[in-house]
Amino acid sequence: MRANLETVKSYLLDLQDRLCDGLAAEDGGAGFREESWQREAGGGGRSRVMEHGRVFEKGGVNFSHVHGDRLPPSATAARPQLAGRGFHAVGVSWVLHPENPHVPTSHGNVRFFIAEKEGETPVWWFGGGFDLTPYYPVHEDVVHWHRVARDACAPFGAEVYPRFKAWCDEYFYLKHREETRGVGGLFFDDFNEWPFDDCFAFQRAVGDAFLDAYLPIVRRRRDTPWSERERDFQLYRRGRYVEFNLVWDRGTLFGLQSGGRTESILMSMPPLARWEYGWTPEPGSPEAKLYEDYLRPRDWLSEKTGGGVSS
């Protein structure tokens, strides 16, 4: 199992490199700065952050490999039988916050866990996915996003995309707001129901699909003119992003509970956000359209939602 860990780790380090190369080329600015860090209880990571770019106001692509004698509570909440086991957790996570309100925010991660106990067979599992958070969504962009997600899943069975698409809708849901964070994508966790090689191949398919899903949207929207009104709305909706990450996100909680590097864990936060008491969008406005048509689960690839036609 340790050999498998090293194989996954090698892939993840390469994925971090490829994501940073693709995103930096699209941004065209100064690129990412890198910091390596060590965790006192075991392990460390390689954090890469971009700020004040030509497209991305803030972006981060982080690699970490942490290990210890006891899994944090967030990792055993769904599997209490693993409490007290030692662990290795290795993963790459990324978040992009563009400056232009017409370019969506996006997040993704892929990760691998091993839980160990002397005298017992190690337990392993994969997790990950990616999701899209637009402020002024365009239907064709959302369809493209989900089409790439579906195609990444297709070699593993026709049921995989609908299953993990639905899981994403359920996971990235702000219960206290009764709305989804965005338009979803893919999400899976505690995943080990296939042989290791098949699970690892699926993780690679998800990680490798991200740039194909996201960069065409960035290119289509990066030069769209925007106003102060649209910027204000983007900052308001970024507040929802902060609320989800601090209240509901298991990855943030795991990082903090495991004693990870706080700056790296919270790199997902936008550089600017705002809250306004009791705000509601003007009826019939583009802002209202986000709430009415996009912040709920939908079957984006069905004929009922218009296929690839922009709305």
Q: What does the pLDDT look like over 98-112, one tens digit per residue?
A: 999 999 999 999 999
Q: What is the mean pLDDT of residues 150-163?
A: 98
Asked if residues 129 and 186 have their Cβ atoms less than 8 Å apart, the reply is yes
Contact present, 114 and 123 (Cβ < 8 Å)? yes
Summarize pLDDT for 209-227 with one digit per residue, the tens.
999 999 999 999 999 999 9
What pLDDT shows up at residue 224? 98
Which residue reads 């599992």 in tokens? 125
* Pairing relationship of beta strands 184-191 and 179-180 according to DSSP bridges: unpaired
- Give the residue numbers of the binding site for substrate: 93, 109-111, 259-261
- Cα separation values, 75 from 39, 267, 303, Å: 18, 21, 39
The active-site residue out of 67, 107, 139, 144 is 107
- Is residue 107 among the annotated active site residues? yes
Tokens encoding 220:
């289509």
pLDDT per residue as tens digits for the range 78-96: 677 888 888 999 999 999 9
User: Radius of gyration over alpha carbons of the chain, in Å?
Assistant: 19
Closest of 246, 238, 245, 244 to residue 274, by C-alpha: 238
User: Residue 234 pLDDT > 80, yes or no?
Assistant: yes
pLDDT at 311 over 70: no
Whole-number Å distance between alpha carbons of 47 and 111: 15
Would you list which residues are annotated within the binding site for a divalent metal cation? Answer: 97, 107, 146, 176
Percent with pLDDT over 70 in the chain: 95
Decide if pLDDT at 289 tops 50: yes
pLDDT (mean) for 193-207: 98
Question: Taken in order 293, 299, 301, 304, is the CA torsion positive or negative?
Answer: negative
Encode pLDDT of 245-269 as tens digits. Answer: 999 877 787 777 777 778 888 888 9
Helix (H) or strand (E) holding 234: helix 228-247
Give the three-state DSSP class for 190: strand
Do 255 and 266 form a contact (C-beta atoms < 8 A)? no
Give mean pLDDT, residues 47-63.
Answer: 97
Instruction: Tokens 């004040």: give the residue.
Output: 52
**Contacts of 195 by beta carbon, 8 Å cutoff, 6+ apart:** none
Residue 304 is predicted with a pLDDT of 52
The pLDDT assigned to 217 comes to 98
Residue 231: which residues within 8 A CB-CB, separation 6 or more? 101
Annotated binding site: 93, 97, 107, 109-111, 146, 176, 259-261
Is the pLDDT at 23 greater than 90? The verdict is yes
pLDDT at 238 over 80: yes
Distance, in Å, from the CA atom of 160 to the CA atom of 245, rounded to the nearest integer, reads 26
Q: Please tell me the predicted confidence (pLDDT) of residue 309.
A: 33
Lowest average pLDDT, out of 34-43, 137-146, 193-202, goes to 34-43
Cα(95)–Cα(113) distance, rounded to whole angstroms?
21
Q: Specify the DSSP class assigned to residue 292.
A: I
Using alpha carbons, list the distances in angstroms from residue 253 to 13, 88, 185, 257, 306. 23, 16, 21, 6, 38
**What is residue 310's predicted lDDT score, i.e. its pLDDT?**
36
Q: What distance, in Å, lies between the first and last C-alpha atoms of the chain?
A: 49
CA distances from residue 148 to 131, 141, 208 in whole angstroms, order as listed: 12, 11, 11
What's at 145, amino acid-wise? Answer: W
Residue type, 121: T
Provide the pLDDT confidence category of residue 3 given band limits of 50, 70 and 90: confident
Over the chain, what is the mean pLDDT? 92
The set of residues, in sequence order, having a beta carbon less than 8 Å from that of 274 and lying 6+ positions away, is 232, 235, 236, 238, 239
